[in-house]
């Protein structure tokens, strides 16, 4: 059994819009996290070696933060970054691949790897699935635009 997870989604949005949703802190605050969470803080320094950080608030008010460093950025094609929950010694890596299927649909491939145990990988599956469901809703909502 491998200690990485792979998820492929087809999003009903143009490639540039999907890529932008991952690269802009204001947009990430609108969709990132599980269904019972909000994002009161997000910061992104989108450059190789730049840092990113997201603070998640659970429905009970509990705050959790995750962050990392960008390792690779290929606009509208690939994002690769480290992933570490604050207070945890575990450092993993996320790689996102973006591919236009046509003018209105984009395939997103998420690879989250370097988990020290299958149990940790499985916990992240339960986080990524609702997070990506929220991304679907965000991208499909009429009037939702990238910041100018």
pLDDT value, residue 139: 96
Percentage with pLDDT > 90 across the chain: 89
pLDDT value, residue 143: 59
Q: What is the dihedral of CA 141, 134, 94, 110, to 10 degrees?
A: -70
- Sign, Cα dihedral of 14, 18, 24, 29: positive
Structure tokens at 20: 């932008």
The rounded mean pLDDT for the chain is 93
The predicted-structure confidence for 24-38, as pLDDT tens digits, reads as follows 999 999 999 988 899
The predicted-structure confidence for 86-99, as pLDDT tens digits, reads as follows 999 999 999 999 99
Average pLDDT over every residue of 85-112? 97
Asked whether the whole model's pTM tops 0.95, one would answer: no
Judged against a pLDDT cut of 50, whether residue 146 lies above it is answered with: no
State the pLDDT confidence band at 47, using cuts at 50, 70 and 90. Answer: very high
Structure tokens at 66: 């995750």
Q: What is the CATH number of domain 5-140?
A: 3.30.530.20
* Collapsed DSSP state (helix, strand, coil) of residue 136: helix
Average pLDDT over every residue of 74-93? 97
Give 98: exposed, middle or buried? Use CB within 10 Å, 0-12, 13-18, 19+. Answer: buried
Judged against a pLDDT cut of 50, whether residue 101 lies above it is answered with: yes
Q: What is the dihedral of CA 8, 10, 13, 17, to 10 degrees?
A: 10
| Alpha carbon distances (Å) from 52 to 13, 42, 81, 118, 143 | 24, 8, 9, 25, 26
Judged against a pLDDT cut of 50, whether residue 110 lies above it is answered with: yes
State the pLDDT confidence band at 39, using cuts at 50, 70 and 90. Answer: very high
């Amino acid at each position: 059994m491998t200690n990485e997870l792979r998820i492929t989604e087809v999003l009903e949005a143009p490639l540039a819009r999907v890529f932008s949703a991952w690269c802009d802190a204001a947009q990430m605050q609108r969709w990132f996290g599980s269904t019972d969470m909000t994002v009161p803080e997000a910061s992104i320094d989108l450059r190789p070696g730049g840092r990113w950080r997201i603070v998640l608030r659970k429905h009970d008010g509990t705050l959790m933060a995750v962050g990392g460093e960008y390792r690779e950025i290929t606009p509208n094609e690939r994002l690769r970054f480290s992933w570490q929950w604050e207070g945890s010694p575990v450092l993993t890596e996320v790689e996102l691949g973006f591919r236009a299927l046509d003018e209105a649909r984009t395939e997103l491939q998420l690879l989250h790897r370097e988990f020290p145990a299958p149990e940790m990988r499985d916990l992240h599956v339960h986080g990524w699935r609702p997070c990506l469901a929220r991304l679907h809703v965000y991208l499909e909502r009429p009037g939702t635009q990238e910041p100018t």
